[in-house]
């Protein structure tokens, strides 16, 4: 099973990704989490990207691709995965296409979590107080939303045209949303 989960920042992708990954027995791979771990551990990668992330911009494609491809080569990812927060640019889509093609693999579906933007901005501000993420202040959150619209929103059309997109309402509590997602996937994939 090879899946993507997409949606605006703060739509709850990470939480749903963990549940879906568990359900299908595949690792949920989040580029955002990999980057945050690198920052926490003060690795060379972390030092290079911490400013970009704290300002809400996108990490350059070259670095993101390197990190993702390396992660896909790990043992737990050989029979499938769910990517959370990747791809985010058209170049990343192309790179993922290429990577899949080389291995004669394909995507099974792309879940798009939809959400009311003002509601998720408010939710992220609340989360900022609890989690203390470096990119959860109002200015950065607004910037992340803008970058998302410019660069990532158009990717939904790409996957829609390929017939892979499954849109799911991401508003509501975690259990409600995960039931919707799993039901939509089961209907589409027959498992
Ligand atoms: P969210 O979806 O809430 O913004 P993520 O954890 O997915 O959170 O990402 C956090 C940050 O990590 C992003 O704002 C961006 O700076 C960086 N990032 C994550 N994935 C990518 C990617 N595929 N390409 C470029 N930057 C990324």
pLDDT tens string 91-119: 999 999 999 999 999 999 999 999 998 99
88 is catalytic: yes
Contact in structure between 53 and 45 (CB atoms under 8 Å):
no
Q: State the catalytic residue, choosing from 91, 123, 127, 180.
A: 127
142 is catalytic: no
* Residue 161: inside a domain: yes
* Residue 163: inside a domain: yes
- Percent of residues, the chain, with pLDDT higher than 70: 100
pLDDT tens-place string over residues 121-168: 988 888 888 887 778 788 899 999 999 999 999 999 999 999 999 999
**C-alpha dihedral, 57 to 115 to 11 to 29, nearest 10°:** -90
pLDDT of residue 123: 84
pLDDT of residue 68: 98
Contact in structure between 36 and 86 (CB atoms under 8 Å):
no
Closest to 14 (Cα-Cα) out of 37, 1, 31: 31
> Is 152 near ligand 1, meaning CB less than 6 Å away?
no
> Is 159 near ligand 1, meaning CB less than 6 Å away?
no
Contact in structure between 30 and 140 (CB atoms under 8 Å):
no
pLDDT of residue 126: 86
* Cα 9 to ligand 1 centroid, rounded to whole Å: 8
Contact in structure between 12 and 177 (CB atoms under 8 Å):
yes
* Residue 20: inside a domain: yes
- How far from 139 is each of 9, 71, 82, CA to CA, in Å? 13, 31, 30
> Is 59 near ligand 1, meaning CB less than 6 Å away?
yes
Half-sphere exposure of 84 (CA within 13 A, CB side): 23
Tell me the mean pLDDT in the region 10-18.
95
Closest to 38 (Cα-Cα) out of 72, 66, 75, 76: 66
Contact in structure between 86 and 34 (CB atoms under 8 Å):
no
* Cα 135 to ligand 1 centroid, rounded to whole Å: 10
The count of domains in the chain is 1
Could you list the residue range(s) of the whole structural domain that residue 107 is in?
2-183
* Residue 188: inside a domain: no
Q: What CATH number did the domain enclosing 11 receive?
A: 3.40.50.300
* Residue 134: inside a domain: yes
Q: What is the Cα–Cα distance from 78 to 27, expressed in whole angstroms? A: 10
pLDDT tens-place string over residues 31-55: 999 999 999 999 999 999 999 999 9
* Residue 100: inside a domain: yes
* Cα 31 to ligand 1 centroid, rounded to whole Å: 6
Contact in structure between 31 and 5 (CB atoms under 8 Å):
no
Pairing of strands 81-84, 2-6: parallel
Task: For residue 126, give the H/E element and its range.
Answer: helix 117-131
* Residue 113: inside a domain: yes
127 is catalytic: yes
């Amino acid at each position: 099973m090879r899946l993507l989960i997409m949606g605006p920042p703060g739509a709850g992708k990470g939480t749903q990704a963990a549940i879906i990954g568990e359900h299908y027995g595949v690792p949920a791979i989040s580029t955002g989490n990999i980057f945050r771990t690198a920052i926490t551990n003060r690795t060379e990668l972390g030092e290079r990207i911490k400013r970009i992330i704290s300002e809400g911009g996108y990490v350059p494609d070259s670095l993101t691709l390197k990190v993702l491809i390396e992660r896909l080569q790990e043992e737990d990812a050989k029979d499938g995965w769910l990517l959370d927060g990747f791809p985010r640019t058209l170049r990343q889509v192309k790179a993922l296409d290429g990577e899949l093609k080389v291995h004669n693999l394909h995507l099974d579906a792309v879940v798009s979590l939809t959400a009311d933007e003002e509601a998720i901005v408010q939710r992220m501000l609340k989360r900022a107080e609890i989690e203390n993420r470096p990119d959860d202040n109002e200015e950065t959150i607004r910037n992340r939303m803008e970058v998302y619209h410019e660069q990532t929103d158009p990717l939904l059309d790409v996957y829609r045209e390929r017939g892979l997109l499954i849109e799911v309402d991401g508003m509501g509590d975690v259990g409600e949303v995960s039931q919707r997602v799993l039901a939509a996937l089961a209907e589409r994939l027959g498992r």
